[in-house]
Chain A
Amino acid sequence: MDTPLIQTVLIPALQVLLVIAILPLGIAYLQLVERKVLGFMQVRLAPRRVGWHGLLQPIADAVKLLIKEDIVPDKADRFLFTLAPIVTVIPALAGLAVIPIAGAPFTLFGYTVRPFITDLNVAVLYLLAISSLGIYGIILGGWASNSKYSLLGALRSSAQMISYEVPLGFAIIGVLMLSGSASMVEIVNSQKTAHVWYILPQLVGFFCYFISAVAETNRVPFDLPEAEAELVAGFHTEYSGMKFAFFFLAEYTNMIVVSSIATILFFGGWLRPFPNAAGSAWLENGWLFFTPLILLGFVGWLVDQKAGTGLNGMFTGLAAGAVLGFLLGRFDVGGLASASVPVLSGAFWFSLKVSIFLFVYIWFRGTYPRYRYDQLMSLGWKWLIPLSVLNVLVTGIAMVLFG
């Protein structure tokens, strides 16, 4: 094969395969993290039977879902019932195509690899369009199940999506005005030239965006479509086995996509904190320091939960991680520090920010009760939409006055 063909076809195809292969595993472990964090918030231990501190639980769950009987209700519309999970999961995965995890392309085996699958110049619009497609799967699934709970869940979901799509779009407009581009890469680069993450000028926009995003992904406190207390399991009541797993995959992929958009638009994407300050240049290699710090701190925390030793384990882990990370950076083990790979640094900061968002999702789930249906509607229409429109207005005026 000649080089251009490999460059333009094979490498993006491999990237797509990589995303599709790694994502379900990552989501399985995200689910474990969710169960752990929820458990700790409720002062209990969470999964601990499979593997050390339950670390193999996601594998066991995946195997269980794969070999479970795939039940289709008698009176369900078989075709739409099968179609619904697919329609839900494809837009969710497609959204990942425009998410850049780092800025600059890098060279691997002589080929240029870009740290994103594609860089659309209308990426934000594309994401908005794709994310609203996912609702079709939910509506189809709810209707095709021929069950009252599923249908109610699907109806709530569609109403919710219609209400929250609007503030979601308006909240992003402020960032688009500031950066003057709708391409993800350009938006992050403009944050570098502006010397500030857009969270500061766009605090209200971010507020609106994040609340709408939580509602858009059907997560607590806006999880009315699946409201387990009222609707059994909402739109996926009748689903089992792999079809259920697909809905599950779609929900968590949507969470990741929405968190990535928040990171890119408001928190500088792959940029390190203070991207232009000379004093923070060491943060460029921050992943060498922070990765052991975070990992060992987390392990120590897990040990603490069982041993009941307060937080000694976590602090020991953090200290050990800090020392290890410092030594790694100081003595340049394996040439990692001097290599200064921008992709690794970018990927680290990007995934750290996304992880914080995902944690906030779980944190919300552990804290807030579900909104009532009319409260949900009035929050969307009476507060978020006016607020986000006002934000666009104020941003525009400020840009004319000070820009």
Chain B
Amino acid sequence: MATVTTAPRTAPGFKDFLKTVLLAELWVGLWVTLKNQFRPHITVEYPKETVELSPRFRGVPRLRFHPESGEELCIACHLCETVCPDDCIHIVSEKNPDGKGKRLVSFEINYERCCFCGLCVDPCPTKPLTAIYMSHDYEMADFKREGFVAPLKTLLDGIEPTTYKE
């Protein structure tokens, strides 16, 4: 059986008495706040300044063009639509009239439902880059619900970020 040993309680000595009488703890607290005043601030004044994002930051999902040819990368495979846990991606595709495969008619992401999990990016089969990717945009407030359903054009070109007057 393990024996529990506790440190013997020492009777408060003269040092403890002095600490209590001279309010030592209170002075320690005051010293901490006094020092803090001279530290540089950590505030980021948001609309004027923004924090630096990590490269792996997951903002709103968007589509992108081929980096060289400038064509749409998406091959309308519906994989992202299938994997999406929130059902926020809605794709309409048709048979490609000139050649094989399918092509996009419309591609919508409902940002009201999107949980920014990034699962849609993982199965995307296109080379050299995934067609759908997590962008670094995060300023997406809007006054109307319609503003949260992004059509193909918005997804490809992105939204012009709102600029605020000084």
Among the stretches B39-47, B118-126, B147-155, the one at the interface with A is B39-47
The reply on A382 being an interface residue by CB < 8 A is no
Show 17 residue pairs from A and B whose CB-CB distance is below 8 angstroms, ordered by the A residue: A37-B37, A40-B36, A40-B37, A40-B38, A40-B41, A41-B34, A44-B41, A45-B43, A48-B45, A308-B40, A311-B38, A314-B38, A363-B30, A367-B29, A367-B30, A367-B33, A368-B29
B36–A41 contact, CB under 8 A? yes
B40–A41 contact, CB under 8 A? no
The reply on A42 being an interface residue by CB < 8 A is yes
Closest to A369 in B: B29
Total inter-chain residue pairs, C-beta < 8 Å: 42
Chain B hits for A366, CB < 8 A:
33
- A 298-335 to B, binary, CB cutoff 8 A, 1 in contact else 0: 00000011101111001000000000000000000000
Interface residues of A in 127-166 (CB under 8 A from B): none
- Kindly list 8 other residue pairs between chains A and B, CB separation below 8 angstroms, not including A306-B41, A310-B40: A40-B41, A41-B37, A43-B41, A44-B42, A45-B41, A314-B38, A363-B33, A368-B29
Most chain A CB neighbours (cut-off 10 Å) among B29, B37, B38: B37
The reply on B11 being an interface residue by CB < 8 A is no
The smallest C-beta distance from B39 to any residue of chain A, in angstroms, reads 5
Contact of A308 among B29, B33, B41, B45 (CB under 8 A): B41
A residues lining the B interface (CB < 8 Å): 37, 40-45, 48, 304-306, 308-311, 314, 363, 366-368
Closest to A305 in B: B41
Chain B hits for A45, CB < 8 A:
41, 43, 45
Chain A hits for B29, CB < 8 A:
367-368
The reply on B141 being an interface residue by CB < 8 A is no
The smallest C-beta distance from A43 to any residue of chain B, in angstroms, reads 5
Chain B hits for A305, CB < 8 A:
40-41
The reply on B53 being an interface residue by CB < 8 A is no
Docked CA distance A309–B36 (Å):
15
The smallest C-beta distance from B26 to any residue of chain A, in angstroms, reads 8
- B 104-139 to A, binary, CB cutoff 8 A, 1 in contact else 0: 000000000000000000000000000000000000
The reply on B18 being an interface residue by CB < 8 A is no
The smallest C-beta distance from B42 to any residue of chain A, in angstroms, reads 5
Docked CA distance A41–B29 (Å):
12
